[in-house]
Structures are given as C-alpha cells and as structure tokens.
Chains A and B, each alone.
Chain A
C-alpha cells in the first residue's frame, strides 16, 4: 500500500514570491508516479505536474517545478512568481501499477493562500 503525507495544512505566499509545498510518500514499489493536483474553490481537480519515479530529472511546467528526492521519498512542489489564481488546495498523489491498478493515493492537501 502507498501512503502520501502533506504536513502543511495551510500556507500563504505574497504575490510574485516563491512558495514550496512539501510532500512525502511511502511505497515499496519501484515503478510509480507522483503528481501534484490543484483544486480551486470551483472544485475542479487540475493536474499541475507529473513525475515518473525512474526519471531522475525533476519535472517542470512553466512556473511549477518539483524537487524529487527518491531516496528520501520526498516530492515537493515549488511555485515561482505566485499569482492570485494559484490560491487553491494542492494535493500530492501517487500511483503505481501494482496488481494492475493505477488508482491515485492522495495526501490530505495543503491550502495555499496568495496575498496581494
């Protein structure tokens, strides 16, 4: 079984500044994937970034990047040049192909506020 832990229930950042959201996970699998999803007040869950465990290079999507530390089982999300539209719940998630199922295991989420 996989577990995902987000230790920061809430965080805030000034507009245009950088913020890092933490995530740790636990798995015995070697082939797995890690994700960050964003859920704004509209409730739509939006895929922010995806990381394949076998790739050492950290994934980047525009202002969003991750710091993937495989040995430490850590997967943090860095948001640069924060914008008001970044305010949302952020969920870290993992998936693996064990037993032929790819369901996502989510952390509890971090609520990010952006201060103008």
Chain B
C-alpha cells in the first residue's frame, strides 16, 4: 500500500512569491492535515481538510490556504512568501473512523530567500 506522497520534495522561492504544495493521502483516507516544521518552532498545525471541506486551521495568517479535491488529495497555497515561511511542510492523512491517527508524508522543504 502506497503511503502519503508529497510534491515537490524541495522548493526555493523568493520573498513575495506564491507557492503550491501538493499531497496525496493513503488510499481510503479522507482527512488531510498540514503541519509546518520550522527551525526553533517545532511542529505546528496548519490546516485540516475532511470530505472536501476545511474543518479547522491553526494560528496562521490567511495567506496560508488550501483545498481538498474530490479524490481527497490536497493543495497548500502560501501567498506573499516571507523569510520565516522557510520550513518543512508535512502532510498527513487519516481514516474517516480514526481521524486522530495520522500518517505522514515525506514533506516538502521550502526555502524562501
């Protein structure tokens, strides 16, 4: 069984640009979570999508947004990139009946110059 996949693996952008990160959940999983892992800040919850809807978001500005598609894959969009957005962005998925148990993808490393 394939795990959670994310693309791209690495990304370099400059301040003010926009970026889109992609995530495909494990087959059969309907929930997708996004987390940011920045140096010195640990792992922080960004967004939760379930059944195509945004269900909850963490303490991040509105320039962090995303969506979930009918096939349950998801995109994370970050507008007006700032230097502090440099981080590892992790996507996780979970089953409908076990939403708390999340399986992670390999992450996308974003560097903002």
Contacts and interface: CB of A to CB of B under 8 A. Distances in A.
Contacts of B92: 45, 104
Contacts of B42: 106-109
Nearest to B103: A47
A44 B107 contact: yes
Interface residues of A, number: 25
Interface stretch (B63-71, B73-81, B93-101): B93-101
Given A99-B56, A101-B56, A106-B43, A44 B104 contact: yes
Interface in A74-116: 91, 95-97, 99-109
Given A99-B56, A102-B48, A43 B106 contact: yes
Contacts of B107: 43-45
Contacts of B48: 101-103
B106 A103 contact: no
Nearest to A104: B102
A35 B43 CA distance: 14
> DSSP class of B's interface residues: helix, strand, loop or mixed?
strand
A95 B35 CA distance: 14
Given A102-B94, A103-B45, A106-B42, A97 B100 contact: yes
B74 to A, nearest CB: 14
Query: Which 5 residue pairs across A and B have the least CB separation, nearest first?
Result: A45-B104, A101-B56, A103-B45, A95-B100, A106-B43
Interface of B: 31, 33, 35, 42-43, 45, 48, 55-56, 58, 88, 90, 92, 94, 99-107, 109
28 contacts: A33-B100, A37-B104, A43-B88, A43-B109, A44-B105, A45-B90, A45-B104, A45-B107, A47-B101, A47-B102, A47-B103, A95-B100, A96-B100, A100-B55, A100-B56, A101-B48, A101-B55, A101-B56, A102-B48, A103-B48, A103-B58, A104-B33, A104-B43, A104-B45, A104-B92, A104-B102, A108-B42, A109-B42
Interface of A: 33, 35, 37, 42-47, 50, 91, 95-97, 99-109
